[in-house]
Structure 1
Amino acid sequence: MSARTPDRSSPPALTRWERRTEVSLLAASLVFLAGYAFRVLAPDDTQPWHDISLALVGATWLIFVLDYAVRLRLSGLGLRFVRVRWLDTLVLVLPLLRPLRMVQIYTAVQVRRDRPRLTLYARVISYAGMTAVLLGFSAALGVYHREHDAQGASIRTFGDAVWWACETLTTVGYGDAVPVTPVGRFIAVGLMACGLGLLGAVTGAFSSWLIEVFRREDEKGPPASG
């Protein structure tokens, strides 16, 4: 279950708060990603937009801090909330993971539907695809931010960073673009782990779907002879 998905064991006040703030947090996630992307990619002489983007990033991060504090209080778990809601804690500490809330919120909306639009296997594949795109874009931004002016860096442009993110997520790793800074390598390790998990999820869902299709075909049996 997603760390943001309300469950039956959550206090009613916490459940109501999470449902009421879903859309607001989704908007904040988009603003955070847009502000950080502009901050990283825009030329240095684009003032005052650089300062405005920095203010947007700081303001949205403050919104998530306040939301985390409210949910910690409403949960009744005390400091155990940090461990139980470990994904929320992680994205609070690592702001570049913030866009993953969009996948979590979309999952929560689908859970509340009586009849989800997609089958289980299609939902797994679509969630994995959404996560891969958001995580890859965020990682490319972070690595480009740290690497493009580092000594001996092979990631000099944002295009290089996107290519590196694609290589890492798909576990190909040609080795033509590699991070050289400690922060860049830290991001790379996280992206490698996520890439393996996403690849396993998609492969498992697709394999299960094929097995289900073949099972249904076997149950139909051969056509009756005239």
Structure 2
Amino acid sequence: MALDWSYFGPELRTAIEQTLLMVGLGLVFSLIIGIPLGVILVVTRENGILQNKTIFTSLSVIVNIFRSIPFIILIVAIIPFTRLIVGTSIGTVAAIVPLVIFTAPYIGRLIENSLLEVDHGVIELAQAMGATPWQIIWRFLLPEALGSIILAITIATIGLIGASAMAGAVGGGGLGDLAIVYGYQQFQTVVMIITVVLLIIFVQLIQSIGNLLAKKIRRK
């Protein structure tokens, strides 16, 4: 069956907009949760500036639990929670909830690893200068790790694109939904190729921007 571009064109445009919405809002909310989570995991760990074994162990276990759940299962498992937050479990907006829950712990771990790369001597110097824990985090720890953090966010964004495509399997909309409805169910190979190419372009673009920003920051 030939592809009707007069109908498919608007559908493709809508799918792209839905994917950008899921990835954009999903990333923003994931960063709001994930960055503080990563910072807390670093400062409360053993020998951290705010060492607290209880908080560190509890958060670490929670992060590991959510990172262990495949995204496709997570979407279904938190349907009641998704309905509580947005009033529905189907559609692009509903897909953002599991995307955030899936991505935020991942970002938390990536931020944690980036901050742990900072030379401990920088922290010791800040403490010797009389800096408070908040000043150490905001003026020393985060700026020193900024290049690595940008690369970590780049990786998380690419993972988020992949997850947003999987959201199409449960009615989340976007390019994944387009690939399933038109490409798979209607045997439209052209649609599958188009969606794959678009996803590759998105990934390459984000990776290039992330590499460029990290390179500029590390030069400074």
TM-score of the two chains, using structure 1 as the length reference: 0.34
The structure that is helix-richer by fraction is 2
TM-score of the two chains, using structure 2 as the length reference: 0.35
